[in-house]
């Protein structure tokens, strides 16, 4: 399932996939895979992404 919340949060911060990838020390393709729903990141990476985008885990990665 696509992670549209992540994509929206990234866009709100005016970050490209590459910029976000650099902030959390992963490849751009990994960010792309997470947004497309093709890869489930570890909790460690989820936390790093949340910190980079000033969001909580629930806001980005939890389907309520």
Partner 1 sequence: MNDTFGGFALGLISVLFVGIMVKLFVRRRMNPDGREYDERQIAVQGKAYKISYFTLLIALTVGGLLFGFEGKAVCSPFTLVMISMALSLGVFITICIFKDAYFALRPQRKNMLILFLILGGINLFAGFRRLGDSPETAAVSLCAGGLLLYACIIIGIKTLLERKAGDE
Check residue 26 and report its DSSP letter: S
**Residues 23 to 62: which contact partner 1 by CB under 8 A?**
25-30, 32-33, 39, 41-42, 45
**Closest CB 29 distance from partner 1, rounded Å:** 4
Residue 11 or 62: the one with the smaller Cβ distance to partner 1 is 11
The candidate with the shortest Cα–Cα distance to 20, out of 40, 36, 6, 37, is: 6
Which residue from 63, 35, 64 is spatially nearest to 49, judged by alpha carbons? 35
Applying CB under 8 A, the residues found at the interface with partner 1 are 16-17, 25-30, 32-33, 39, 41-42, 45
């Amino acid at each position: 399932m696509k992670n549209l919340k992540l994509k929206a949060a990234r866009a709100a911060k005016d970050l490209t996939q590459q910029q976000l990838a650099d902030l959390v020390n992963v490849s751009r393709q990994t960010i792309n895979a997470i947004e497309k729903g093709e890869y489930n990141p570890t909790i460690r990476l989820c936390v790093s992404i949340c910190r980079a985008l000033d969001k909580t885990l629930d806001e980005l990665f939890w389907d309520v």
